[in-house]
């Protein structure tokens, strides 16, 4: 049986071996941007015009010494990046901190990376500080949640004047993975994290306020599989992989709903879309076969069935989903050669995609 410190070390090593992934954003001008890790930074591709299909040549956004990244956008389409930075320590080992940067316009340089620190003073514990998840509330408040070096949950928030509050300790133990965090349209932020035996859920007591009591549920969550989507105003649906049941959907006032699928050990992408006049949820993951799978269900009615389809596109990590300027669903993957590819929703009934386009 692993002790708490050994478990945290094992989890940090597991996270460090995982591919970063791929991210899609849509700027205020309607153009999509794709980001993929590349050496000491992020390689970035941007659509030549809103709705594509052509993409411009890539450029590199400096992001030195990052091991993980989280990406979110605010109401003005500013892109917020939160990364885990790991640097060699003079006395041996590594020093870890969380850094934050903003891209204000499509294709423009990022702001300077600003360190928001690491709450641990002990070097060995600080080196186990986890990967961040960043969200931005409708008010513009930035929230970063991180599993700490002892398996707890830490949160840091940016104040209205742009300065950062102190780290908040949500006082829990045995968290084993990156949390799912959502900034709801009603102004509340929610966090769902998982241990090896249960899930832990926190919700703000008011927009921008403190955190209520933790809600615990006996659920089994495969490491690295948590995701979340707002599926109605102020209501979040969480998705993860149950090792025995495949993908599940969970709302905190109900029981997990089995969705099937054949996911690998990555997270899930989720986006809502109107299909055939119905409010639907589109899900995507890397299947156990190593190819990208996509699923469709009527939003918050998953119990009546999910339609899954293997796209046949090999991918190294979880796909990304977004809407383009014409409200079509766009899916992006990182191919086995490390290069990104995108497919775009076609006209017609249901959900189908055109041919994969290499960027």
Q: What is the per-residue pLDDT for 4?
A: 28
Question: CB of 143 within 8 A of CB of 137?
Answer: yes
Helix and strand numbers (H, E) in the chain are: 2, 28
Best CA proximity match to 322, nearest among 263, 271, 287, 267: 271
pLDDT in tens, 248-299: 999 999 999 999 998 998 999 999 999 999 999 999 999 999 999 999 999 9
Return d(Cα 191, Cα 139) in angstroms, integer: 18
Per mean pLDDT, which range of 14-18, 21-25, 132-136, 325-329 is the poorest? 14-18
pTM of structure = 0.93
pLDDT in tens, 83-105: 999 999 988 899 999 999 999 99
Q: What is the per-residue pLDDT for 66?
A: 94
For residue 3, pLDDT over 80 is answered with no
The phi-psi region of residue 11 (left if phi > 0; otherwise alpha if psi is between -120 and 50; otherwise beta) is alpha
Phi/psi of residue 12, each to 5°?
A: -65, -40
| Residue 206 per-residue DSSP state | S
Return d(Cα 35, Cα 182) in angstroms, integer: 21
For domain 4-218, is the CATH number 2.120.10.10?
Answer: yes
Per-chain mean pLDDT for the chain? 92
Residues contacting 157, CB < 8 A, separation 6+: 141, 142, 143, 144, 164, 165, 168
For residue 18, pLDDT over 50 is answered with no
pLDDT band, very low/low/confident/very high, at 333 (cuts 50, 70, 90): very high
Return d(Cα 359, Cα 349) in angstroms, integer: 27
Q: What is the per-residue pLDDT for 272?
A: 98
Q: What is the per-residue pLDDT for 17?
A: 37
């Amino acid at each position: 049986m692993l002790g708490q410190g050994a478990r945290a070390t094992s989890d940090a090593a597991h996270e460090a071996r995982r591919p970063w992934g791929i991210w899609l954003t849509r700027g205020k001008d309607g153009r999509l941007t794709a980001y993929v890790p590349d050496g000491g930074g992020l390689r970035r591709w941007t659509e030549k015009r809103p709705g594509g299909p052509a993409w411009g040549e890539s450029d590199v956004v400096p992001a030195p010494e990052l091991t993980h990244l989280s990406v979110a956008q605010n109401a003005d389409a500013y892109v917020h990046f939160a990364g885990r930075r790991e640097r060699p320590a003079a006395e041996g080992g590594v020093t870890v901190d969380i850094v934050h940067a903003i891209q204000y316009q499509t294709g423009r340089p990022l702001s300077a990376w600003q360190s928001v620190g690491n709450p641990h003073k002990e070097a060995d514990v600080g080196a186990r500080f986890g990967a961040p998840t960043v969200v931005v509330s409708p008010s513009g408040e930035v929230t970063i949640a991180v599993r700490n070096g002892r398996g707890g949950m830490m949160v840091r928030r940016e104040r209205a004047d742009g300065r950062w509050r102190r780290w908040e300790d949500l006082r829990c133990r045995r968290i084993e993975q990156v949390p799912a965090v959502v900034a709801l349209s009603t102004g509340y932020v929610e966090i769902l994290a998982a241990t090896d035996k249960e899930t832990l859920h926190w919700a703000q007591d008011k927009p921008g306020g403190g955190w209520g009591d933790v809600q615990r549920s006996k659920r089994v969550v495969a490491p690295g599989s948590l995701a979340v989507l707002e599926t109605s105003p102020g209501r979040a649906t969480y998705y993860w992989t149950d090792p025995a049941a495949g993908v599940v959907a969970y709302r905190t006032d109900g029981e997990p709903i089995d969705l099937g699928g054949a996911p690998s050990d990555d997270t899930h992408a989720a986006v809502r879309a109107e299909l055939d006049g119905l409010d639907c949820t589109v899900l995507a993951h890397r299947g156990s076969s190593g190819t990208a799978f996509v699923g469709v269900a009527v939003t918050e009615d998953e119990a009546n069935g999910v339609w899954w389809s293997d796209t046949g596109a090999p991918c190294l990590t979880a796909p990304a989903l977004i809407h383009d300027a014409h409200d079509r669903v766009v899916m992006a993957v990182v191919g086995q050669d490390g290069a990104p590819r995108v497919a775009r929703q076609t006209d017609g009934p249901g959900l189908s995609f055109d041919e994969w386009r290499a960027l």
